[in-house]
Amino acid sequence: FLAGFWTFLYFVSFCFLANQWSQTTADELPLNQGADAARAAIAFSFFSIITWAGLTVRAVQKYLLGTDMTLFTTEHMDGGAPTQPYPSNSPGGGNTETTETYQSPPFTENNAAPTYQVPIY
């Protein structure tokens, strides 16, 4: 509920700044930049109240939801291996099944000499 605490702090800040701004006269401001900075601080605290209040509402909703684990059920998973093997992509198109459990990774370097012939020009 930290978001609720920040909402409260920004609300207090907004009220204090708005009150001070309403009591300030034009003679008390040395430059126009001071007035712009004060307006920006008041606007920032106002929009922060809205943002933190929204976060507080969302946090309370999540808290009230609790630990409802129905979203994370595993009933749709059978937990076993697929019943049929994956289709073969071999050039022959046949159904080749192997009993090997290890396949070498593709594109490994072969230490044998190249088998191409150099073209004659």
Domain count across the chain: 1
Asked if residue 18 is part of any domain, the answer here is yes
Range of the structural domain that residue 54 is part of: 2-24+32-67
Asked if residue 94 is part of any domain, the answer here is no
What angle in degrees, to the nearest 10, is found between the helix axes of 32-65 and 2-23? 160
Show pLDDT as tens, one digit a residue, over the chain (121 residues). Answer: 788 898 899 899 999 988 888 887 777 666 666 677 888 888 998 898 899 899 899 888 888 887 666 666 666 665 555 555 555 565 555 555 566 676 766 666 666 666 777 788 7
Residue 114 confidence (pLDDT): 61
Asked if residue 40 is part of any domain, the answer here is yes
Asked if residue 53 is part of any domain, the answer here is yes
d(CA 41, CA 62): 31
Asked if residue 54 is part of any domain, the answer here is yes
Closest by CA to 49, choosing from 3, 82, 87, 88, is 3
d(CA 66, CA 84): 40
pTM for the full predicted model: 0.48
